[in-house]
Amino acid sequence: MRSLAVSIASLKLDNPTMLASGIMDETGASMRRMAEAGAGAVVTKSIGREARDGYPNPTLVELSDGYINAMGLPGPGIDAFREEMKDAVKGPSPVIGSLFAATPEDFAFLAQKMQLYGAAAVELNMSCPHAKGYGMEIGVDPDMVRSIVCAVKAAVSIPVLAKLTPNTHRLLEVGRAVQEGGGDAIVAVNTVKAMAISVEARRPILYNCIGGLSGPAIKGVGLRCVYELYEEVDIPIVGVGGVETARDALEYIMAGAVAIQIGSAVGRKGIGVFRDVTSGLETYLTEHGVGSITELVGVAHE
């Protein structure tokens, strides 16, 4: 029997796929649907302390090889999100609460709420490339990242994952800061800063001008980040960026990821992508005589 099961501290997954934050994760019903579609875990949309409207449209550009989005972190706020979590945690897979804030104290407050709501872990969004005062603006400072992770670890008993930005020359310093702060895992990476221009209108397409590029276009960037982080830290890494097939997932796993997240592919290929990927992973294990997917983590470094 081939095993796809993986774990990150106390977080146990039947398979190494996760729904990435930012798609099909605004309601409890949609998150439960993703779990039922085969996601090994589901990450919520990023939730802050108060409700936010986000940016006006246009907020999304579809490209041939991905998307550029600048949503502005819209959401109902942590208190209102409780009702969605009540529904989401009834699904068959663990729910990971994604959080954004500007201070260690606010991150800790939000994490406590998510734990109370039944989240199996929290993911700290310190990497959004287009929300002023949040995300990447604080996630490129190793000292701030260390303080945030330390504060959240002191506030909750569930695993703490930190989602990092590729838009920095200090990625490895930030990764070390997550580990030094007691973080249980690193999620690498969030979207790449990008833009698109309408040649008809002669102006940027997005209201915010600059957004975050996701999808197959950034897979090489994500792989590089995971590969380098694997050689720098001892905590688990979750790979994100352009995963659409089992082969993509295997590349991330061999680079050093214990699990992978799928986001843009849900929009590009449909919710069947989770079972397509896990089926392909099972086939690979069988054909190559590998007993567990964990045996392949980091083999590209050998």
Residue 287 makes CB contacts below 8 A (sequence gap 6+) with none
d(CA 192, CA 101): 20
Whether 128 is a known active-site residue: answer: yes
Which DSSP helix (H) or strand (E) runs through 149?
A: helix 142-155
Altogether, the residues listed in the chain come to a count of: 302
d(CA 199, CA 114): 44
One of 128, 150, 209, 225 is an active-site residue; which one?
128
d(CA 284, CA 281): 5
Q: Does residue 262 contact residue 248 with C-beta atoms inside 8 Å?
A: no
The total of other beta-carbon atoms located within 10 Å of residue 198's CB is 12
Q: What are phi and psi of 290, to 5 degrees?
A: -100, 130
Catalytic sites, residue numbers = 128
